[in-house]
Amino acid sequence: MARYVITGGNRLEGTVTISGAKNAAVAILPAAILVKGKCRVENVPDISDVRIMLRILADLGAKIEYEAPSTIILDCTDIHSSCPNPEYVRKMRASYYLMGALLSRFHEAHVALPGGCNFAARPIDQHIKGFAALGADVDETEDYVNLKPGPKGLQGAKISLDVVSVGATVNIIMAACLLPGKTVIENAAKEPHIVDLANFLNTMGAHISGAGTDTVKIYGVEELKGGSYAIIPDQIEAGTYLAAVAATGGNVLVQNIIPKHMECITSKLQEMGVQFIYYDDAVRVISDGRLQHTTVKTRPYPGFPTDMQSQICVCMSIAEGISRLTESVYETRFFGYCTELASMGADILISGKTAIISGRENLSGAVVRAHDLRAGAALVIAGLVAQGATEVENINFIERGYERLVEKMNALGADIKRLEK
Ligand code: UD1
């Protein structure tokens, strides 16, 4: 199994360019199923979740060409099946978007339950509630979701989500795009990638308004045609580099970002003593590595993202004083990676939804294991800070979502080796 061997202690200096957003890409690529015509998509990150999604689409009959390393032409005009290959569907979480996309296109879908990062119970009841409200007959088996039109057929509807769910919001937007009538999603998620998906679909001819607010309206259209679109930069990848520089100390220009998307993260790092200089599409992060304690509570956007919980936990582990980190999206997200950080010397006490972190002068290298994507990224940051060598195992999780992580970090002065065995 491949692993990273990290020699810690280097400051990070230089410039890093952020890739296209993973969570937007894994929604926008299956959304091309709705389009009869060529979708030219720029800023597609080369990460394993995207490769799996493209493989699923190709199996369904999509034509995929590369115009440049991160620009693809995706043509789903001739896809012929509403049953994607379960072997690949089970390899990633966001494959659940195939349900909404295929339901919209074929008025039926047969999709295996998704796999991916299992840092918590991740139910899809709100997705199912949405499909049923749109008139689908839903048959859930132990490992499949089968959707077909119910007795009254498929049509727009009003859906109020019981929990703010990114996945359900995306899935319902996709499912509703080609249905007759108007769909209203209340208590919708507001994450940047929801807006990005809606912008992509509108570029292709959909009629969606309100994305980025808690009420999204979708007016059904008869068909979507091709067009060209560029995926937004990855808020969480950028946040991971900011946290890494905060922890190691250094001075790095993080470019290709949307500054507004970063504020929920930079405001907390600023409280910890990190400096930021903003430009139109970049931010410079300056840190002397001496951090102060703070309090963070994860929340749906525009709150502090749960996907940055583990990275800021590393910063708190070496900050002066006692920090409190409360998780309000996925309660069990602390388990696993906090034990790994403890083996590196971090002092973390978990009490229900809150981790109480007593900052230590330093961490020390150890052999640790990534339990999911973001937890894995946090262990990399811990390794960059620690004295001595850290080995991070299970890096397949990290490579789901970070494009060329080793290359980008090493260009900033990190010392990470990727070993195959
Ligand atoms: C998405 C992101 C993931 C991020 C998460 C929260 C993608 C591909 N993944 O995951 O990186 O960590 O948002 O920002 O974009 N819930 C239900 N029922 C449902 C759906 C969700 O109870 O049907 C609950 C979940 O258990 C969780 C909360 O709602 O507590 C938010 O989950 P959701 O926003 O749906 O997360 P994902 O879309 O799976």
Condensed to tens digits (0 to 9), the pLDDT of residues 227-272 reads 999 999 999 999 999 999 999 999 999 999 999 999 999 999 999 9
Pocket residues: Cβ below 6 A from ligand 1: 23, 26, 93-94, 122-127, 163, 165-168, 189, 306-307, 329-330
Q: What is the pLDDT of residue 115?
A: 77
Give the global pTM. 0.97
Task: Give the Cα separation of 247 and 245 in Å (integer).
Answer: 5
User: What is the pLDDT averaged over residues 383-394?
Assistant: 97
Whether the ω angle into residue 233 lies within 30 degrees of 0, i.e. cis, is: no
Among 26, 48, 89, 122, which is best to mutate for testing ligand 1, by the most ligand atoms less than 8 A from CB? Answer: 122
Q: What is the pLDDT of residue 120?
A: 62
DSSP string, 126-141: HHHHHHHHTTEEEEE-
Identify the CA nearest to 241 among candidates 39, 49, 25, 411. Answer: 411
Residues with Cβ within 8 Å of residue 124, at least 6 apart in sequence = 96, 113, 114, 145, 167, 168
Q: What is the pLDDT of residue 196?
A: 98
User: What is the pLDDT averaged over residues 153-174?
Assistant: 97
User: What is the pLDDT averaged over residues 200-211?
Assistant: 98
Query: 125 C-alpha vs ligand 1 centroid, how far in Å?
Result: 11
Of 39, 76, 83, 117, catalytic: 117
Residues with Cβ within 8 Å of residue 104, at least 6 apart in sequence = 33, 34, 174, 175, 176, 177, 178, 179
Q: Is the pLDDT of residue 110 over 80?
A: yes
Q: Is the pLDDT of residue 43 over 70?
A: yes
Token couple for 212: 């980025």
Q: What is the pLDDT of residue 317?
A: 98
Q: What is the pLDDT of residue 79?
A: 96
Q: Is the pLDDT of residue 114 over 90?
A: no
Query: 167 C-alpha vs ligand 1 centroid, how far in Å?
Result: 6
Antiparallel, parallel or unpaired: β 109-112 and 136-140: unpaired
Band (pLDDT 50/70/90 cuts) for residue 332 is confident
User: What is the pLDDT averaged over residues 299-318?
Assistant: 97
DSSP string, 250-284: EEEEEES--HHHHHHHHHHHHHTT-EEEE-SSEEE
Atom number in ligand 1 closest to CA 300: 14
Query: 365 C-alpha vs ligand 1 centroid, how far in Å?
Result: 33
Band (pLDDT 50/70/90 cuts) for residue 119 is low
Task: Give the Cα separation of 343 and 327 in Å (integer).
Answer: 22
Query: 121 C-alpha vs ligand 1 centroid, how far in Å?
Result: 10
Q: Is the pLDDT of residue 121 over 90?
A: no
Query: 271 C-alpha vs ligand 1 centroid, how far in Å?
Result: 27
User: What is the pLDDT averaged over residues 343-347?
Assistant: 98
Task: Give the Cα separation of 284 and 140 in Å (integer).
Answer: 48
Q: What is the pLDDT of residue 116?
A: 64
Give Cα 280 to chain centroid, integer Å. Answer: 23
- How much is the CA Rg of the chain, to the nearest whole Å? 21
**Residues written for the chain:** 421
Atom number in ligand 1 closest to CA 127: 23
In the predicted model, what is the mean pLDDT of the chain? 96
Atom number in ligand 1 closest to CA 129: 23
Identify the CA nearest to 170 among candidates 136, 202, 197, 207. Answer: 197
Antiparallel, parallel or unpaired: β 144-149 and 109-112: antiparallel
User: What is the pLDDT averaged over residues 47-69?
Assistant: 97
**pLDDT tens figures, 128-151:** 999 999 999 999 998 999 999 999
Task: Give the Cα separation of 75 and 353 in Å (integer).
Answer: 44
Please confirm, yes or no, whether 117 is among the known catalytic residues.
yes
User: What is the pLDDT averaged over residues 43-60?
Assistant: 97
